[in-house]
Chains A and B, each alone.
Chain A
Amino acid sequence: MIKPVYSKGKLAAKTGNEVMAEAMRQIEPDVVAAYPITPATEIVQIFSQFVADGIVKSEYVAVESEHSAMSATIAASAAGARAMTGTSSQGLSLMWEMLYIAAGLRLPIVMAEVNRAISAPINIHGDQSDTMGARDSGWIQIYSENSQEAYDNLIQAVKIAEKAKLPALVTTDGFIISHCMEVVETYPDEDVKNFIGEYEPKRYLLDLKKPYTLGSIDLQDYYFEHRFQVAQAMRDSKKIVLEVAKDFEKTFGRRYDFYEKYKLDDAEIAIVAIGSTAGTTKVVVDSLRKNGIKAGLLKIRLFRPFPVEEIAKDLAHVKAIGIMDKADACSGAFAPLYSDVAASLYAAGATVPKLANYVYGLGGREISISHISGIFEDLVKIKDGNKTPPISPEYVNVRIKKTM
């Protein structure tokens, strides 16, 4: 029998998109500017209905493209408003130059993002190529395994962004979570509003008593210092993420961290994964554990900033680690998550783990329990020295034509 975790919580069956729209309603930002795109459309569609029905006081700006959506959100945030948007895939791509500007201007914009493949070929299904492509833009990135996490993460992101003075995006896996109805516990409006508090920017453009310039040219004299500050703010935001998580747990009872460790502490083989596939991996870990195989999982929640020291420490004892990327970097090297995990371990001087990179699920390609079991079987071989860790990504569930 399901029971709410929070004494005043309410259980409902909702899709990832519905619950992100619900969080936005409760956050009630001053301004939302957005342009619809599958599979994120519903988020801003439902929210725009709240605006039309007078349920929220937010200003909704219906723009003609995502570039304009991000531009309007930046303008609103710079003016002193709490501003949000939502998008996916090509929409995020079209926001590209403005993403960097939002971060460079230190504007705490929050985005509900639904992960979807990038064209070409055109594809509407879920992979993480879109946000992985934006990983160096200076946005805090928080990933969600399910709808509950999407709801909780979006609420926390508001506080994190405003404290860190950096924009933040929260994602779900396209269709797999965005369109999957699951049980979600939501909290009363008042409690969510109390948790995030009022937005009180120290400086904003519409503060006529304290005028200042934002976005001016910055050449060899100061540009580097300002970019250093963005990078430093990103590093410093780790602490903020934990503080907000602690407050959240104290208020609503659900515990969040940089990542979730699932049966990892004594694991000999482990998978590192992001998003909904981490949930499926838990089922595989449980069944391997029943057969006496010490399998574990590290599920990334916070990808930007990357929790370098913590991850290195928690993975240092694992003999073989499979790092699963739902995006390929087309880099000739490895996919994004692998690169960060490997760098973290190497920098910490870890010598035990052998690593393998698995690229999976591009364009929504199925990743099943048997595929994940196959990865664990591979890791057993690597652990026992029966297979050399590959020097390029392994591709899961794809038809590859062998060429000479």
Chain B
Amino acid sequence: MSSSMIEIRWHGRGGQGAKTAALLFAEAALSTGKYVQAFPEYGPERMGAPVQSFNRISENPITTHSGVTNPQYVVILDPTLMETVPVAEGIGERGKVIVNSSFSPQEVAKQLHIDAKQVYTVNASQIALETIKQDKPNTPMLGALVKVIGTLDIDGVLNDTKEKLTKKFRHKPEVIDGNIESIKRAFNEVKN
């Protein structure tokens, strides 16, 4: 894997928006001038079943079309997945896990048997309830991911996401503002 390429794995449950998050993230990264890939893992699609989706982001054209097995970043939308799915698989000693959780990074690290330095947490469900009025943690987790990666421009991401949501929810402006606010809050509140 070339050093300039970032690989990300999203863990969620069917219906939580893991696929949408990966697609939104790819579009946002493209808007900041990067090459991108976003693809879901296709299996039985059932509401509530564990699902994964993936991103690749790079300064250079991406020709790899195999699965992501050693992601630098893992985003977990539902913390209960940590009990049943090997979410930290393949991240090595430098990969980072970002979890939607009210627990501290230290507590999550203990559960995952990895170094606390590798774990970031943010209460994305709480943020989503307060901003979007629904437990939809996928958009706030975008903000958390951008913060942890550190090399992407948050304003570019916000502008692009706002544009995409405006197209989709032009009759529901409150949804757009709530989502944008959720990204900003998670960007600021994610902790290590």
Contacts and interface: CB of A to CB of B under 8 A. Distances in A.
* Tier of interface size on chain A: 20 to 34
Contacts of A179: 39-40, 42
Given A13-B26, A13-B27, A283 B63 contact: yes
* Tier of interface size on chain B: 20 to 34
A13 B30 contact: yes
B63 A13 contact: no
Interface string B4-23: 00000000000000000011
Contacts of A366: 66-67
B67 A180 contact: no
B36 A182 contact: yes
B69 interface: yes
B111 interface: no
Interface string A137-179: 0000000011000000000000000000000000001011101
Contacts of B34: 2
A366 B27 CA distance: 26
- Residue of B37, B59, B67 contacting most chain A CB atoms (<10 Å): B37
Interface in B21-50: 22-23, 26-27, 30, 33-40, 42
B84 interface: no
A40 B69 CA distance: 26
Contacts of B151: none
A181 B19 CA distance: 11
B87 to A, nearest CB: 19
A176 B69 CA distance: 15
Given A1-B33, A2-B33, A13-B30, A146 B65 contact: yes
B30 A11 contact: yes
B149 interface: no
Contact of B30 (A2, A175, A177, A277): A2
Contacts of B33: 1-2
A367 B62 contact: no
B64 interface: yes
Given A13-B27, A13-B30, A125 B42 contact: yes
Contact of B63 (A1, A176, A279): A279
Nearest to A282: B63
A242 interface: no
A280 B64 contact: yes
Contacts, number: 69
B30 A279 contact: no
B10 to A, nearest CB: 13
B65 A173 contact: yes
A2 B31 CA distance: 10
Interface in B41-97: 42, 59, 62-67, 69
Contacts of B2: 283
A183 interface: yes
B65 A183 contact: no
A183 B55 CA distance: 12
A124 interface: yes
Contacts of B38: 13, 180-181
A13 B36 contact: yes
Contacts of B23: 13, 181
- Residue of A12, A125, A283 contacting most chain B CB atoms (<10 Å): A283
A173 B39 CA distance: 13
A180 B39 CA distance: 5
B63 A280 contact: yes
Contacts of B27: 13, 181
A366 B40 CA distance: 14
A181 B36 contact: yes
Contacts of B1: 369
Contacts of B42: 124-125, 175, 179
B65 A276 contact: yes
A229 interface: no
Given A13-B27, A125-B42, A180 B65 contact: yes
Contacts of A251: none
A351 interface: no
Interface string A261-282: 0000000000000001101101
B69 A177 contact: no
A116 to B, nearest CB: 11
A182 B67 contact: no
A283 B56 CA distance: 14
B66 A280 contact: yes
- Residue of A11, A175, A181 contacting most chain B CB atoms (<10 Å): A181
A59 to B, nearest CB: 28
B153 to A, nearest CB: 12
- Residue of A2, A125, A146, A182 contacting most chain B CB atoms (<10 Å): A182
A49 interface: no
A388 to B, nearest CB: 29
Nearest to A369: B66
Given A1-B59, A146-B63, A180-B37, 12 more contacts: A2-B33, A13-B23, A13-B27, A145-B65, A173-B65, A175-B42, A176-B39, A177-B65, A181-B26, A280-B66, A283-B2, A369-B1
11 contacts: A1-B59, A11-B30, A125-B42, A176-B65, A179-B42, A181-B22, A181-B37, A181-B39, A280-B66, A282-B63, A369-B1
Cβ-closest 7 pairs across A and B: A279-B63, A276-B65, A180-B39, A181-B38, A1-B33, A368-B66, A13-B27
Interface of B: 1-2, 22-23, 26-27, 30, 33-40, 42, 59, 62-67, 69
